Structure 1
């Protein structure tokens, strides 16, 4: 992990990392186990998997927010990535105890007595142990010739940054992050997409600009996108039923979908 003394750029997981809206849809993936860790698997349609068989397979490692890889919102997001030609693997580093189990069904408030800080400490400890073994299991399963990429949302972003400091992925992407320090950006080796909310208490503007300065100084390959009218969580927990065009030209639905499309296009660029 990054040095504990490195300046914090994206703060710890907080309440704004769990509140939001539940999305509607029917997931199409499966629950498997990799490296002893429960994993959501979303595979490309057969119509896609049969094309370009001479090309190396594209494997996307998905590091979910505090709701977990098996929340309906994140399952649907992983399913979308699969429709774009990726085999998507979502690690359940919460081992069946995501924060979503401790939030009211409408994602508005925590259940009485829930200690978020204690949950985060426990979950970080679990993840730090599980992620390396899981990544090794993924790479063993799909082989050395696959094109691996990693995308993270909030809680999952530190693990994307750590992978992107190695040669285990071709590129990384994070969306409305938490838990990042300057070290994460200083150590970056691989191309990075930063998909950001306009108003984000976890990753405020001054922190994002500092991250950009580090990336520019290090001559990193990166792209920053900022969605007006959005807040932390828009890409996984945004309200998709609000049809009022008060956020013109950036509706939450468009921002969520464009962020996901951008992740695909970014990884496609480096997965040739």
Structure 2
């Protein structure tokens, strides 16, 4: 993880959903569709971060689905107070240790288990992940996990590898800002070459001038970022509706 993974802005607004538990994970749930579910995999600020819950509300309403935002950090969350702060002001935060506690090896089994729990309850299931959640949705959509989700979407994914891109087996949407030291130009171009060659539906949404994390932590007071995060939300809704209904 890099500093860009914990920069951004906290949005105003009151989430409409409620908290529950599924497959052993606490979760924020919003929406009432009994046959269509969307699994949202959070960024480093976790399942309680207001922005991710407000996005979940939008997906539930506009994509007509029940949306889940589970806790995949074992109850730990980064303090939102560090947003907009210089790294020298982060205090005792150890991003390396936090990342190790929430590595792929540690968290992938419970992420897969949660998706399996949704598939038992719902006819149609999709997954969308932001930053940290990006690698996870590719694992959910991997060929070896066939039938787990119907499609995936991600904005500015982190920890994503070329092998995970090559192994995907469901329709893929990627929302990529121009400035991203994590989902690099090289990795974006690799995805653009490889995913269509797999015979999969593919939607690459490119956001010139915007930076990593804009879709979940963009500045609503900045016109360009506001338009970008709205466009990302609308693009995700359109993609999810297309494959879930």
Q: Same fold (TM over 0.5)?
A: yes
Do the aligned residues in 1 keep the contact of 2:115 with 2:149 (CA within 8 Å)? no
The within-5 A match list for 1:100-111 is 100=79, 103-104=81-82, 106=84, 108-109=86-87, 111=90
What is the aligned counterpart of 1:70 among 27, 36, 48? 48
Q: Distance in 1 between matches of 2:236 and 2:42?
A: 14
Query: Which has a greater percent of helix?
Result: 2
Kindly state the Cα deviation for residue 164 of structure 1 after the two structures are TM-superposed. Answer: 1.1
Q: Give me the CA root mean square deviation.
A: 1.7
TM-score normalised by length of structure 2: 0.91
In the alignment, which of 20, 32, 50 is matched to residue 8 of structure 2?
A: 20
Question: Following superposition of structure 1 onto structure 2, how do residues 39-118 of structure 1 map, counting pairs within 5 Å?
Answer: 39-44=27-32, 57-84=35-62, 85-100=64-79, 103-104=81-82, 106=84, 108-109=86-87, 111-118=90-97
The alignment status of 1:183 with 2:160, answered yes or no, reads: no
Alignment gaps of 5+ in structure 2? none
Aligned to 1:254: 227
Normalising to structure 1: TM-score of the pair? 0.82
Bigger radius of gyration, 1 or 2?
A: 1
Deviation at 1:107, TM superposition (A): 5.2
For residues 181-231 of structure 1, what are the alpha-carbon distances to aligned partners after superposition, in whole Å with 9 as ceiling and x for unaligned? 111111111000011101111112122001211113323220101111100
In 2, Cα distance between the equivalents of 1:223 and 1:197? Answer: 14
1:34 aligns with 2:22: yes
Helix, strand or coil at the partner of 1:167: coil
Q: Which residue of 2 aligns with 1:227?
A: 207
8 Å contact 2:118–2:125 — kept in the other structure? no
For 2:232 and 2:184, locate their aligned partners in 1 and report how far apart those are by CA, in whole Å: 18
- How many equivalent pairs are there? 239
Asked if 2 retains the 8 angstrom alpha-carbon contact of 1:22 and 1:106, the reply is no
- Distance in 2, matches of 1:267 and 1:114, equals 35
Post-superposition offset of 1:97:
1.1
Residues 1:264 and 2:220 are matched in the alignment: no
More RCO (CA 8 Å, sep 6+):
1
User: In structure 1, what is the equivalent of residue 126 of structure 2?
Assistant: 149
